[in-house]
Structure formats: C-alpha cells, structure tokens
Amino acid sequence: MLAISVFGTVEAQITQTIRGKVVDSESNFPLIGVNIVVLGTDPMIGAVTDINGDYRLNNVPIGRHSIEFSYIGYKDVLLNDVIVTSGKEVILNVKMEETVTKLEEVVIVGKKSGDALNEMAVLSAREFSVYETEKYAGSRGEPARMARNYAGVLASDDSRNDIVIRGNTPTGVLWKLEGINIPNPNHFAIPGTGGGPVTILNNKFLSNSDFFTGAFPAEYANGIAGVFDLKMRNGNNEKYEGSVQFGFLGTELMAEGPINKKKGSSFLAMYRYSTVSIFKKLGIDLGTTSEPVYQDGAFRFNFPLKKGGNIALFGIGGKSNAPIVLSTQLDTSLTELYGSNDRDQYFGSRTGIVGLSYTKAINPKTFVKAVFSASQERVTANHDKIVRHTEGAKYVVDTLINILDYVFRDNKYSAYFSINKKYSRRLSMKAGLNFDMYDSKYIDSVRVVYLEEDNVTLDSITPWRKRWDGTGKPMLIQPYVQLKFKASDKLTLTGGLTSLFYTMSKNSYSPIEPRLGLSYQINKKQKINFATGLHSQILAPYLYYYDKNDVAPYKDKLEPYNKDLKLMKSLHLVAGYERFIGKNIRFKAETYYQYLYDLPVELHPSSYSLINSGTGFSRFFPDTLTSKGTGRNYGLDLTLEKAFSNGYFFMTSGSIFDSKYRGSDDTLRNTSFNGRFAANLLFGKEFKIGYKQTLNIGFKVSWTGGQRYGIIDKEESQKEQEIVYADTHFNDYQFKDYFRADLKIAWKLNTSRFTHEIALDVANLLNTKNVLRYSYAPGRENPILEEYQLGRLPIFYYRFDF
C-alpha cells in the first residue's frame, strides 16, 4: 500500500462538476426536461434540466469532452472541446432553438460550437469562447488578436491589436458590452483609433460572445466594418473560487463566489497590474524605450430576483501611462515603434465603465432586458521637441522645447432596452433602443519648431495656438426592430430596420437602414446564406470640434468647421456556403461587396480620406472636410477548420480582396489597408502525460500583403519634420509581404483541488523583419528611416486556479 501511494501506480480519478441553465433561444424562457449527455463516458454521465432549466453533471473526469443537449421539438446542441479542470467548476449556459416541423419530416441540424449566439445572424458572424482567446498561438488572451485568425480579418501592425475587417478602417469596429456601446477598451488608446497595445478586457470575466465581420443584424448600428458583442459571465453562485496569474502582461488576481447561496447571488472581481518593466530589464526587446505602466480591473455582482428576474451591477476599467523619452537615446541607429523619433512623449489614458442591467423572462413567449451605464474615456499627452545633432554615431542633445499639450475627455451616459417576443414556432421579433448622451471636453495647444537647412540648428518657434477648445453634449439615438421567420427547418429569413440619429447637426442622421438575411440548409452537411444591409457610423467625436486656426493672428475663439458632416455609410452584400466534412471539419466560403459613401474628404482636391485613418499612435488632424468621398471593398474569404478531436485541431483561413477609395480629387486609389491577400495556418496538438498532466503545443503562420506607402516629398518632410508623401502618389506602392510565425507551449497539471499552468507564447519566432513604415529622425545624415514591426517577443505566464 505504501509503495502504491509513493510511486503513484494507482491514482484516484480526479473529477469536476459541469452545470448551467438551458433556455429557449428566442424567449430566454427556461426549458424543463432537456437531456444532457457527456459523450464518450463509460458509464455514461447525463442529467435532465429541472423546473428552472438548471442541470448538473457530477463526477465528470478532467480533460476535454463533447456535451450534447437534446429536447423534443428543439434542435440538438453539440458543444465540442469543453475543457474540464480540477481548479474550477464548468458553467455552461445553453440556448436551444425550437423546430418548425415534426422530427420525422426532416433531418434537423442543430447548433454547433462556433455558430453565432445572436439568433438573427445568418452569416459573417461567429461565436467565440474564452478558451479560443488562449487556444491560438499569438492571441495573448485578447478577443481582437484572436479574431485576426479568422478569414477577412487582418492586423494593422504588430504593436497594436487594431483589426482590419475586409479592408475597412479599424475605427469601423463597434464594441458592445452587455448590450451597451462602449469606448475603445484598450490601454494607451489614441483618440480616433480602434485599438491599442494592450487590452483592458480580460478573458477571465468574459462569457462566450459574438464577432461579426459584415452585414450584421439591425440591433447593431454605428459601425461600418464589424462588431464585438461581448458578454460578462456571472461568478460561481455555489462555491468560492480564485485564480492567480503572473506573467509578461501583468500580475492578476481574481475571486468569485456566492453572496447568498440560498438566493443564488454571486460576485466576481479581478485586478491586474503590469509587469512589462520587469521583463524589459531582462533584456526583452519591446520595440520601445518606454517602460509602460498600466492596471485594470472588473467586477460583477449578480442578484436573481423572485419570479424570474435578475439584476446585475458590473464594471470594467483601466489606467495607463507611457513616458517615451528619446532625449536620453544616444545610438542613432535605434528607432521607436510606439512614438516619433524627434520628441519625448508623455502619454496617459483612463477608461472606465459602470453599468446596471435588469433581465426578466415575463412568460414563455416574452423576454425583456434593460441596461443603464456611465463611462469615461480620458487621454492626456505632453510632447517635448528634441533639438540635437550627431557626433560620429552618437546623438548630442542641444535643447528640449515643449511643443504640445492636450487633454481629451468623453463622458457618456448610455441606455439599452430590448424586448424579445416569440409569436410562434416560426415567427419571432426583437425590438429595442440604444441611447448615448455625450459630455465631452477637448483642449489642445501646439507650437512648431523650425530648424535651419542643416536640419539641426534651431531657427524659430511659432507662438502657441489652439486646435481644440470645445465642449459638447450631443446624443446618439438608435431604435431598431428585427424579425425572424422560419419558413421550414431548412429555410430561415431575417429582416430588420434601424435608424441612427446624432444630434451634432442636421446632417448627422441615417433615417432608414434595412437589413435582410437568408439561410437555407441544403442537407445535414451543407448550407447557403445571404445577407445585405445598410450601415452608418459617426466620426470620432473629437473630429467635429477641430479648428486648424493656423492664420495669424491666432483667434482666441475657435470655430469648428466640421460639425455639419454626414454619417459615414456602407452597403454590405454577402453570400456564403458552408459544408461539414465528417463530424469535426467545417469548410466555409464567403464572398462580399461593400460600397462606402459619404466619407469625409478634404474640400480642396486631394488624396485625403478619413477612411485611411484609425490606427497607429497619432491623432489625425483634418482640414475642412466634406462628405463626398466614396470607396469599395470586395473579396473572397475561405476557412477550413477542424474542431479539437483525437488530440489535435487545425484551422486555415485565406482572403483575397481589393480595397479602393476616391478622395476629393476623384482618383481611384488603394486604401491604406489594401493588403490584397492574407493567409493563416494554425495547428495545435495536446499530449497527455499520465492522467493529471497535459502538454499543448500550437503554432501559427501568417502571410499577408505588405503595408502601403507612397513617394516621399523630401522638402515638405524636412519642413514639417515628419514624413510627408507626395499627394499624387499616395498609397501607390507596397512594402514586401508580411510573414510571421508564432509558437505556444503550455503545460498543465491538475491536482485534486488545484490547477497549475505554465505557458510560453513566442510571437515572431523566426524574428522576421517586417517593414511597418518610414519615419523621420532629424539630426541624422539621412533622416528617413525604415521602421520594422516587433521582433521576437516571448510572452510567459504562470496561472494557479483554485
């Protein structure tokens, strides 16, 4: 006996509980008597939902499982790749769709992992799980970086998590949380951009959510490219659990558990503080001289009410600071990925969202949801111009001159209301209202330093001038209604209408935006889909208040001249085909066309269009704009994906596309995001080491078209001390193709009560030099530099779940 205990030749089986709730997909009403089975277990493990739709599967062995939900009159639901560990219970809440015809009349094809949660979506939509944000090499636990693996989605550059969907600007992506529109959820978020270097969103507090890449339902407005519709999960309402994680991206603490076990209330709270500076001191190249500091957190308190209602108080927030000090940099060969090479920059950002939600299934046919929230997005910056010369291969600083100060602050008060009504097995409706009221303040002052022709000697400094000094309280109002009609269990039709009204001016509205969708199940393995819709979006709010104010004598009172712009608009057409190959392999093809119009372009003839903005670490400063620009995107997206089975998974995705626009000079040009093609190959293999341990190895290879650029106007670049492209050749050229390989290795140990995980995610494993852009570095013999994207970057973490 002692020998057996010591050497572990006999081990007690480690098990865990899987539990949750099953509801009707259209009314959210609990379903009683649903059969749940853990496939492949012997003896078979199963359960049946009770009067509240709750179920519990006890003594489920640790590992990966497939779970099937079946119910008479409803389509089956099959969830693959459910990971069970010893450190945490698995809570799976499932929605099931009612069938139209009797079971014996037709082969019913049910919901599978990856199908969108939103019942009105027929294509260009995908559900993603928390596990998927960690599953793929290079994803770093972030929804946006994870989405880059999907067909039609590209990265803007390695230093940020902006995403380019089908050639569109990253600012065209709408972010929603619990139904409300939220600000850019990233640290170091520059106003008017769609991403940042590090996300505020932590996958530990997210539930399964939806991601859309086009022609999305009427519920979604104020986005012309795509949508992240995020959901927060509730804390465990039966037992206390926690998680501690230390790694490259920060030290994290999370706790959850019941508040009142009898009433089913629960809490969830987490906090993270950055540890990037520790790894930077170890010599890891981050592409910057800065040691960024950030912290973020989230909470959710959930309170079930009598008679089926539910109230939840939730919040997320983050704060970040990044001093980029180049005046102490002596080596002339170094470049700065996150800032400009001619200045010291001190940047800070703060984002916070607090909300209160109420949900209730009024009866088996009706479900209502109301959410109220307040948010703030605040950004500050201070720039000091570096005047310096070179002696040999070293910089010598002559002086520092303060040239820029700004504070941008957007408070927003939001409300969301929706009602789901199921009229019959065939017909259902969802209607609602999104409302945002802004309280904004923008202050910005700048002055210009001019150098002599030698590009070194100080010539003159202009007086300070204001570019922003404004406040505003506009409102954004979006009512919508959408219907779903199931003509049969094979044919589903969806349709909806929405409107978008922005009270900035009489021109900033879109009275009618129709959305249509069709899905036809050819047989149990094949399906075709079609969707179309008109979509509109406001500009980044600060752009409406800009005044160039560059004619001396400078005015004390600014007069913003872009307030009367129209909403940007885009018409989407998408057709898709889907086929299952065996049980675990899915092939998807989607072809699309998008026509964009009412895009902001300059009043005088030029190549400028706002559609090329939205990424990087600089704001954009438009001249007088008019809503007369156009654009078009078309392409083909292909995906071949194998769900995890037999110890491995793979996904390959590819896109061929073309993205063009017309500025006010009416010349058809490449957009800044027209890479023309993209391809990804992902593979993952799990090795079992005994009963308690697993080793996962995954890799990703990405190959895309290079970044766009034009002919550099050297005289104007010297005058402005930054890269200026010749207007007539904007985006005519393309850097060499982008190539990157990522590798992730993760080891996991399950004990009787705890789970340990150690992982190493190496981005750009081969240290490939991918060109990002040209930059200007005054003081060098040749001030025009070729900047590269991130080199090899190892991202490590250790996690302890209990």
pTM flag (> 0.75): yes
Q: In sequence order, what are the residues at sequence separation of 6 or more whose Cβ sits closer than 8 angstroms to the Cβ of residue 760?
A: 744, 745, 746, 794, 795, 796
Low-confidence winner among 82-96, 332-346, 753-767 (lowest mean pLDDT): 332-346
CA 169 to chain centre: 13
CB atoms within 10 A of CB 239: 12
* 464 secondary structure, DSSP code: P
The H or E element that residue 710 is part of is none
CA 605 to chain centre: 35
From CA 316, how far away is CA 299, in angstroms rounded? Answer: 7
How much of the chain, in percent, has pLDDT values that exceed 90? 67
From CA 583, how far away is CA 78, in angstroms rounded? Answer: 11
Mean pLDDT of all residues in 400-424: 95
* 609 secondary structure, DSSP code: B
- Mean of per-residue pLDDT scores for the chain: 89
Q: Are 498 and 510 in contact (CB under 8 A)?
A: no
Q: In sequence order, what are the residues at sequence separation of 6 or more whose Cβ sits closer than 8 angstroms to the Cβ of residue 253?
A: 242, 243, 244, 270, 271, 272
Q: In Å, how far are 30, 73, 78 from 47, measured between CA atoms? A: 15, 18, 15
Read off the pLDDT band of 16 (50, 70, 90): very high
5, burial (CB in 10 Å: exposed 0-12, middle 13-18, buried 19+)? exposed
Q: What is the pLDDT of residue 287?
A: 63
Residue 82 scores a pLDDT above 60: yes
Residue 552 scores a pLDDT above 50: no
- 16, β-bridge pairs: 60
Read off the pLDDT band of 61 (50, 70, 90): very high
Q: In Å, how far are 209, 454, 494, 516, 639 from 529, measured between CA atoms? A: 21, 62, 11, 11, 15
- Residue holding tokens 């194998």? 642
Q: Are 624 and 561 in contact (CB under 8 A)?
A: yes
Q: Which of 20, 23, 18, 22 is nearest to 65 (CA)?
A: 18
Helix (H, G, I), strand (E, B) or coil at 728: helix
From CA 631, how far away is CA 545, in angstroms rounded? Answer: 25
pLDDT in tens, 616-634: 777 777 778 999 999 999 9
From CA 450, how far away is CA 457, in angstroms rounded? Answer: 9
Q: What is the pLDDT of residue 787?
A: 84
Q: What is the pLDDT of residue 337?
A: 63
CB atoms within 10 A of CB 501: 15
Residue 1 scores a pLDDT above 70: no
How much of the chain, in percent, has pLDDT values that exceed 70? 92
Q: For strand 265-273 and strand 209-212, is the pairing parallel, antiparallel, or unpaired? A: unpaired
**Amino acid at the residue 540:** A
Residue 597 scores a pLDDT above 70: yes
- Residue holding tokens 């766009």? 708
Backbone Cα Rg of the chain: 27
Domains, in order of start, for the chain = 14-113 (2.60.40.1120), 130-801 (2.40.170.20)
From CA 354, how far away is CA 315, in angstroms rounded? Answer: 4
- Residue holding tokens 């890449």? 213
From CA 629, how far away is CA 37, in angstroms rounded? Answer: 56
CB atoms within 10 A of CB 654: 17
Q: Are 89 and 58 in contact (CB under 8 A)?
A: no
pLDDT in tens, 457-496: 777 888 888 888 889 999 999 999 999 999 999 999 999 9
CB atoms within 10 A of CB 269: 17
Q: Which of 665, 658, 674, 666 is nearest to 710 (CA)?
A: 674
Q: Are 291 and 284 in contact (CB under 8 A)?
A: no
- Residue holding tokens 């009898």? 262
Residue 112 scores a pLDDT above 70: no
Q: What is the pLDDT of residue 7?
A: 37
- 593, β-bridge pairs: 573, 634
Mean pLDDT of all residues in 256-261: 96
DSSP 514-581: EEEEEEEE-SSSEEEEEEEEEEEEPPPGGGGG-----SSSPPSS---S-TTPPPEEEEEEEEEEEEEE
Helix (H, G, I), strand (E, B) or coil at 719: helix
Candidate ranges 12-16, 642-646, 785-789; pick with highest mean pLDDT: 642-646
Q: Which two tokens stand for residue 559?
A: 């007069």
Residue 358 scores a pLDDT above 80: yes
Q: What is the pLDDT of residue 97?
A: 92
Read off the pLDDT band of 439 (50, 70, 90): very high
Give the HSE-up count for residue 559: Cα atoms under 13 Å, Cβ half-sphere: 5
Q: Which of 316, 312, 95, 314 is nearest to 210 (CA)?
A: 95
Helices and strands (DSSP H and E) totals, the chain: 5, 48
CB atoms within 10 A of CB 784: 14
Q: Are 597 and 560 in contact (CB under 8 A)?
A: no
Read off the pLDDT band of 575 (50, 70, 90): very high
Q: Are 757 and 87 in contact (CB under 8 A)?
A: no
The H or E element that residue 336 is part of is none
- Residue holding tokens 């063009």? 660
Q: Which of 339, 335, 156, 393 is nearest to 788 (CA)?
A: 335
Q: Are 82 and 63 in contact (CB under 8 A)?
A: no
* φ, ψ for residue 410, nearest 5 deg: -120, 110
Residue 106 scores a pLDDT above 50: no
DSSP 272-337: EE--HHHHHHTT---SSS---EEEEEEEEEEEE-GGGEEEEEEEEEEEEEEEE--TT--BTT---S
Q: Which residue has the higher pLDDT, 449 or 798?
A: 798
| Count of positions (residues) in the chain | 802
Backbone region of residue 796 per phi and psi (left: phi > 0; alpha: psi in -120 to 50; beta: other values): beta
From CA 575, how far away is CA 636, in angstroms rounded? Answer: 10
Q: Which two tokens stand for residue 394?
A: 């070293």
From CA 330, how far away is CA 364, in angstroms rounded? Answer: 71
Q: Which residue has the higher pLDDT, 102 or 9?
A: 102
**Amino acid at the residue 163:** I
Q: What is the pLDDT of residue 335?
A: 64
Q: What is the pLDDT of residue 130?
A: 80
Q: For strand 173-177 and strand 163-165, is the pairing parallel, antiparallel, or unpaired? A: unpaired
Q: In Å, how far are 176, 273, 349, 526 from 650, measured between CA atoms? A: 29, 34, 38, 21
Read off the pLDDT band of 558 (50, 70, 90): low
Q: Are 553 and 519 in contact (CB under 8 A)?
A: no
Mean pLDDT of all residues in 540-544: 91
Q: Which of 459, 478, 575 is nearest to 536 (CA)?
A: 478
pLDDT in tens, 198-237: 999 999 999 999 999 999 999 999 999 999 999 999 999 9
Read off the pLDDT band of 769 (50, 70, 90): very high
What do you get for the CA distance between the two ends of the chain, in Å? 29
